[in-house]
Amino acid sequence: MEKIKQAIAESKRSNATAKTNVTQQEQGEPIIENRPDNTVEQSTADIVYEKTKVVKLDPEHLAKNRIVSFNKHDHLSLGFDILRTQVIKKMQENGWRTMAITSPTQACGKSVISINLAMSIAHHTDTTTMLADFDLRRPSIKKYLGLASGPSLNDVLAGQATISEALVNPGLDRFVVLPTAKPVPHSSEVLSSQKVGDLIQEIRNRYNERIVIFDLPPMLVSDDAMIMLSQVDCVLVVVGNGMVSNDQLAETMRYIDPDKLLGTVLNKSESSRANEYYDY
């Protein structure tokens, strides 16, 4: 762990760091329960969903998949609240509204971090939050949340659905999800297309008070994340404890503009003390 911390410090140098250790739990299979709601998001003060599907998530499924921020009584959500405060502060200081979350390698837990952070922001801010699954090679947001089949980013890219039709509100005010149902062939080419560029601009510009979080693939497994980084305001890097070498972390940081680096998250902590959820 000490080597990872040193590598992060050396790579970022004077950049501010937002780090939190998140204890991992066991995974489970999705349990799906939802209901359609012909209900568009109108304002943060009085939100009415006219086209966005509203679904009911299963708390047990969320807990098994380490989604702890949905339930504010879960003491493990504290770590994400600490992370949220640091993230929001820096984003507001820089006027940022779009954030990418990635990791150096696979299995660092970036998607779990993305979901929990998005939920934490939605719980305690006056902004709305969108979580978009742009890991087109291995989408997982739908599985972690236990969402039923329905319009998704796949349908939007195919011209068979609008963004509003593909969005899902998982029963949490000020929070919507744009899921990807299945892997997208030739993902690099798709992400670099004008169609996706226009889609990202539409997502960004539709609501001025919205924070958009893009869950991206790991940096070192393909060029997908590198393509996306030019289209977002800032980047949060998730490092799996004991799963990333110093060289891998250093290589990841070389691909990220230092001015866009929001911080790093140290995930999968081995801490045995119940109150050690985060680390500065």
Residue for token digits 């089949």?
149
Q: If you search the block for the tokens 């998607």, which residue do you land on?
A: 111
What per-residue confidence (pLDDT) applies to 76? 85
Q: Is 183 inside any structural domain?
A: yes
For residue 43, is pLDDT > 70?
no
- Quick check: 231 pLDDT over 60? yes
pTM: 0.82
The answer to whether residues 180 and 141 touch, using CB atoms and an 8 Å cutoff, is yes
- What is the average pLDDT across 114-123? 96
Residue 12 lies inside a defined structural domain of this protein: no
3-state secondary structure 139-183: CCHHHHHCCCCCCCHHHHHCCCCCHHHHCEECCCCCEEEECCCCC
Is 58 inside a domain boundary? yes
Q: Does residue 206 sit within a domain?
A: yes
d(CA 264, CA 237): 5
Say if CB 61 and CB 148 are below 8 A apart. Answer: no
Number of domains forming the structure of the chain: 1
pLDDT at 1: 52
Q: What is the CATH number of the domain that holds 173?
A: 3.40.50.300
Over 80: is that where the pLDDT of 127 sits?
A: yes
Domain of residue 82, residue span? 23-231
* pLDDT for residue 22: 41
Mean pLDDT of 84-106: 96
Residue 248 has pLDDT above 70, yes or no: yes
Sign for the CA dihedral angle at 136, 7, 256, 87 comes to: positive
* Contact (Cβ atoms closer than 8 angstroms) between residue 237 and residue 252: yes
Predicted pLDDT of residue 162: 94
Q: Quick one: pLDDT at residue 126? A: 82
Domain contains 128: yes
Instruction: Kindly state whether residue 130 falls inside one of the protein's structural domains.
Output: yes
Does 280 map to a domain? no
Is 56 among the domain residues?
yes
How far is residue 270's CA from residue 70's CA, in Å, rounded to a whole number? 23
**Angle, CA 277 vertex, CA 275 and CA 280 arms, to 5°:** 115
Give the pLDDT confidence score for residue 25 in this predicted structure.
36
CB 217 within 8 A of CB 225: yes
Predicted local confidence at residue 110, as pLDDT: 97
